[in-house]
Each structure stands twice: as structure tokens, then as C-alpha cells.
Amino acid sequence: MKTILKYIIASAVATASLSGCIKETFPTNGATADQVAESTTALDAMVNAIPGALTLYAQNYSQAWDFGYPAINVSLTCMTGDMVVLGNTGYDWFANWMCNLYLSEDYVTGYQFWYNYYSWIKSCNDVISTLSAVPEESLNSDQRSYLGIALAFRAQFYLDLVRLFEPKECNGSQVHDYTIPDNIKDLACVIVTENTSEEQAKSNPRATVTEVYDQVIFPDLERAERMLADYARTSKKMPDLSVVYGIAARAYLERGSAGVDGASQKAADYARKAITAGSYSPLTQTQWEDPTTGFNSSTSNSSWMWCTVQTSETVHNLYSFIAHMSTEEDWTNYGKSVCRGINSNLYAEIADFRKHSWLDPGLFDYYDYKSCRPDYQTFFANTLKPLTSIKFRPGQGNYTTYTVGNAVDHPLMRVEEMYLIEAEALGAQNLSEGVNALNSFMQSYRQPSYSFSASSLKELQEEIGLQARIEFWGEGIAFWYKKRLALGIHLANSNCPDDSYRFEVDGRAPWWNLQIPRTEWQSNSALVGMNNPDPSNTVDNVIE
């Protein structure tokens, strides 16, 4: 299969525009909003549909990269430059995001984010709208938890959208023909809530970054905090109070970086509240390297705060996270043949057990790697390439049966992120406090000999960004650090074997500022002439 077959022009298979998704906010089979709000069964189904939609496959484009939120996290990792394809690029369905190909407004690969997120927001709006029929003071405990869950999800979705679509400056010397017009600076996404009518959606302008935070994200989190105060979840697929604190920590860290007064202190406070609210603890080396439950099970550790969940009944053999990100499975070429690995420049920076997530060139002379495969010694030596990832294990260690091996949990938030947010946020107010917090985390949970000092906040941020890139490789989290802190892409003189994948960018890469799909602005007149610049051909490949 050649890569070009994976790029389909959007106009041929365009998803319905956002304005076409603003329909009735409760079922139309004769039940009123009041009746649905009073039905625990109906509300339960609506709320469970939100996390359920995050792992649906082939919902938009019937492409092998279309499997919901886990696929988005693969795409985000691909855009960082921290992942390399060491094997057969012909089976790499995520080449677009690694090579900056077909990510413009005209191609469905550029649409992955916009339509997924607004579809998920629609599900949140349905729940919120239905429960608006009941005064807040009259909500029962079930209704309060349902409302809080929907608000928390919506806050996270909008946080992702504002970070993805805000056009941040790309000033690296390698960037050419990329200028952000004055009329779109500080703009983010469009705001669609339970109160947005279909007519309003047809002329709905991009909100400013501040408007998205102040009109949606923070109000949603404040209400979710009230609604979930007494909620005890039965599955980590649902956000609870600790997750609300975690989302708030993420959001206030962004605002602190943007210079908003008091935001850094709030980021530190919420990160600490998230750490303590759920009795969480970072992954141990044993949990990290477990060949059966490593990075596939939310119940095998006390680190994961929030995740997606898939069952054997809902998985596809090819359209799934494990099929693309695990190299030990046997049912596809997308894993072991593509051989996704780590940028050797990043690998060289790791000095603790996390380095065992990638096969060292010395292989078993370097470390006694573990695997769910009985033939792992010959398999690792003969099939996989040096620095190939073995971080994400097949479900239950089953590498032969896709209905079991692909049925995994996927992390959306881990407590380790909260420790890093706290350290950076403290450092933004008092550098030595931030440095001490980072040293404490690293020495306690990752590298006992770790010792870091910094003479500026920038040095601390870059070190925290480095640790985030190591800690969350493949989980999508590192992208937010890369874009916020302008950490660049550094694939020159690395183990990246294919010239078309190799870039060197000081600062931000243009494709980190996503474009709004053409089909969207064609249906929303307020978006005409308000798109981010096309990132195509703005950085030349490094030829080695």
C-alpha cells in the first residue's frame, strides 16, 4: 500500500458541516426535555455515549487513522518530531502528521480534529441542555453527576480546540512563506453550546482565546466542580472531581504562560488538589514495564486519572491504538512492520528506567527486556529495529487475538502530569520552588540521582518539557508542551531514516496551528477569510 492512497480530497467525502450538527438537544420520539431529565435510564445512556464515542472507529472517514481520541493522540505525537518510523513507511497511516502532508483545509487528514471534537461537544451539549430543564438547586444526585460529567468533558474538548487552533508565531529560521495575518491573531475556535441555534451556527465567528477560556472552559469547570463534589465513579472513563482539578491545572498553566495574572498560582493549586483528591501515585518501574498490563490497563496502577475504555465487542483489527502503536502484536503490519520508535536525540537524554520502553541497540546486553511473546528474544532481534517502542502492550498480553489485544484502556490523564504542572507553575512564581518540586518528583519516582538547577524560568520549562516528552511519549501530552513552549522539532542527525519525515524547526512548526476545514467555513459565513495559514511547504525537509 503506497502512502498516496491514504490522502483523500475533502470535497469528495466531506463530513456534514458543524452548522448541520446543531439539531434538537433531546430525543424526538415524543419525550419532552423534562421527561428525559427525569429518566435515569435515558440520561445514563446519553452520558455513557460521550466516552463511548471517543473510541468509535471509522466514524468520519473510514480510514485506518480514524479511531477517535486515541488516534488523535497518535497524530499529536507524530507532529512533535519525537516519534520516528524505523520500518516500512508504506504501512504508516499517520505519515501526514509526521511529514506535514495534506494537512490543509482541503483534505480529510486535516479534518481529523475539528469534526471529531465538535461531534463530541454536541453529545455534551445534549446532556447539558436536557438537564437545564431542571433548576440546579433541584437536581438529584444522579442528575448532578450527569451534568458534571458532561461539563468536564466539554471543558477538556474546548481546551484541546483552543490550543490546537490558536495561531501562535512560528519564527524559526527554517520556516518560510508563513505569516499569521493580523485579523486572526489571538483567535481560537468557534463556540457552540447548548444555547447555539442552527441559524446562529451558520454565522458563528471564531472566538478569541480569552473568550473560550472565560465563557466556556472555566465556567464549565466551576460548575463541574460543584456537581461532582460527592460523585464516586465506577470507571475511570468518567471524569470525577480529581479530573476536573486536573483539567483546571492544564488550563491555568496555559493562561499562566500567556501572562494572565494569578493563573500560575491557580495551576499549582489545582495540580496539587488533583494529586491528593484521588490518592494517586506515579507508575513504578514494575508497572511501567509489565508485559501484560503496561500502558493498557487503568486498573493495574494508581497513576491513571482518566482514560478511554474499549471492549472486545467494540474493537477493529486495524482501526485501533494497539494495532498502530504496539510492535508485539501479530495481526497487522501497522505495528511491527512500521516500527514506531523514539527520536535518538531524545533517547539519549533519558537516564532512568523509562529508557526501557525502547529497544536499545545493545538489546539484551543493555537490558533484560520483558515481553508477552514467548519468542521475544528472537522476535526483538530479528523483526524490530533499534529504538523501536515496546511501551504499549497488547491487552492482557494477548499478541495473537485482536479482539483481546486491541481491547485496551488508553490514558487521557496521569498523575505524573500534575507533578510537572505543579513544578512549572511554582517556578513561574518562585524559580527555586519550581526547581525543588521537579527534583523531588524525579528523585522520588524516576531517577534517584537526578539533580537539576536553573538560572531562569525558561531553563526550568525546557527541562520540564523534556521530562514530559519522555514521560508521555505516544500519549499526546507532549504536543501541548511543544506548542506552548516552542520546543521545536529536531530530527537532523538522528535515527530518522526517511528524508520525507525529517525536519529541523527552531521554535514552533507551522502545522501545529491547525486549519479549519473548507467545508466548515463554506457553511459558516463568519469564518470566510479567517482561517489559519496553510502550513504546506513552509519547512523544507532535511536531506541526509
Between 39 and 99, the higher pLDDT residue: 99
Q: Distance between CA atoms of 186 and 167, rounded to whole angstroms?
A: 7
Query: What pLDDT does 10 receive?
Result: 40
Query: What pLDDT does 35 receive?
Result: 61
Q: Distance between CA atoms of 307 and 297, rounded to whole angstroms?
A: 9
Grid cell of 538 as nine digits = 513552509
Could you give the 3-state DSSP secondary structure of residue 261? coil
Residues in the chain: 544
CA distances (Å), origin 484, targets 66, 162, 253, 458, 478 = 26, 12, 10, 12, 10
At 290, the amino acid letter reads: D
Confidence class of residue 536 from pLDDT cuts 50, 70 and 90? Answer: very high
Model confidence pLDDT, tens digit, residues 357-407: 999 999 999 999 999 999 999 999 999 999 999 999 999 999 999 999 999
Confidence class of residue 53 from pLDDT cuts 50, 70 and 90? Answer: very high
Confidence class of residue 169 from pLDDT cuts 50, 70 and 90? Answer: very high
CB atoms within 10 A of CB 219: 13
Q: Distance between CA atoms of 478 and 474, rounded to whole angstroms?
A: 8
Query: What pLDDT does 336 receive?
Result: 97
Residue 317 in this model has a pLDDT that exceeds 50:
yes
Helical pair 457-471 and 415-429, crossing angle rounded to 10 deg: 180
- When computed from its CA atoms, the radius of gyration of the chain, rounded to whole angstroms, is 22
Confidence class of residue 40 from pLDDT cuts 50, 70 and 90? Answer: confident
Q: Distance between CA atoms of 88 and 205, rounded to whole angstroms?
A: 43
**CA angle, 172 as apex, 171 and 173 as ends, to 5°?**
115
List of residues 6+ apart from 199 with CB closer than 8 A:
none
Residue 170 in this model has a pLDDT that exceeds 50:
yes
Confidence class of residue 9 from pLDDT cuts 50, 70 and 90? Answer: very low
List of residues 6+ apart from 146 with CB closer than 8 A:
43, 44, 46, 47, 127, 131
Q: Distance between CA atoms of 39 and 105, rounded to whole angstroms?
A: 42
CA-based nearest residue to 535, from 105, 200, 217 = 105
At 452, the amino acid letter reads: F
Mean pLDDT along residues 189-203: 96
Residue 223 in this model has a pLDDT that exceeds 90:
yes
Query: What pLDDT does 11 receive?
Result: 36
Query: What pLDDT does 4 receive?
Result: 35
Cross-strand pairs, 340: 85
Query: What pLDDT does 28 receive?
Result: 40
Average confidence score pLDDT of the chain? 93
Model confidence pLDDT, tens digit, residues 17-38: 554 444 433 344 445 556 666 6
Query: What pLDDT does 60 receive?
Result: 79
Taking phi over 0 as left and psi of -120 to 50 as alpha, with beta for the rest, 262 belongs to left
Query: What pLDDT does 24 receive?
Result: 37
CB 153 within 8 A of CB 239: yes
Strands (E), 133-215: 187-190, 206-208
Confidence class of residue 85 from pLDDT cuts 50, 70 and 90? Answer: very high
Alpha carbon of residue 97 to chain centroid: 14
Grid cell of 342 as nine digits = 523514539
Q: Distance between CA atoms of 204 and 196, rounded to whole angstroms?
A: 9
Residue 168 in this model has a pLDDT that exceeds 90:
yes
Confidence class of residue 51 from pLDDT cuts 50, 70 and 90? Answer: very high
CB 52 within 8 A of CB 59: no
Mean pLDDT along residues 446-474: 98
Could you give the 3-state DSSP secondary structure of residue 409? strand
Q: Distance between CA atoms of 211 and 187, rounded to whole angstroms?
A: 9
Residue whose C-alpha cell reads 441559524 in the numeric block: 199
Residue 195 in this model has a pLDDT that exceeds 60:
yes
CB atoms within 10 A of CB 27: 17
Q: Distance between CA atoms of 249 and 235, rounded to whole angstroms?
A: 22
Confidence class of residue 44 from pLDDT cuts 50, 70 and 90? Answer: very high
Query: What pLDDT does 27 receive?
Result: 40
Q: Distance between CA atoms of 184 and 483, rounded to whole angstroms?
A: 18
Q: Distance between CA atoms of 247 and 152, rounded to whole angstroms?
A: 8
Between 27 and 98, the higher pLDDT residue: 98
Query: What pLDDT does 39 receive?
Result: 73
% of the chain at pLDDT higher than 70: 93
Residue whose C-alpha cell reads 496551528 in the numeric block: 513
At 470, the amino acid letter reads: I
At 185, the amino acid letter reads: K
CB 346 within 8 A of CB 469: yes
Q: What is the DSSP letter of 318?
A: S
Mean pLDDT along residues 318-336: 97
At 247, the amino acid letter reads: I
Query: What pLDDT does 18 receive?
Result: 55
CA quadruple 315, 320, 325, 331: dihedral sign: positive
CB 323 within 8 A of CB 338: no
Confidence class of residue 62 from pLDDT cuts 50, 70 and 90? Answer: confident
CB atoms within 10 A of CB 474: 26
Q: Distance between CA atoms of 431 and 368, rounded to whole angstroms?
A: 39
CB 303 within 8 A of CB 280: yes
Pairing of strands 304-309, 206-208: unpaired
Which of the residue ranges 36-50, 131-145, 341-355, 464-478 would you say has the lowest mean pLDDT? Answer: 36-50
Query: What pLDDT does 33 receive?
Result: 59
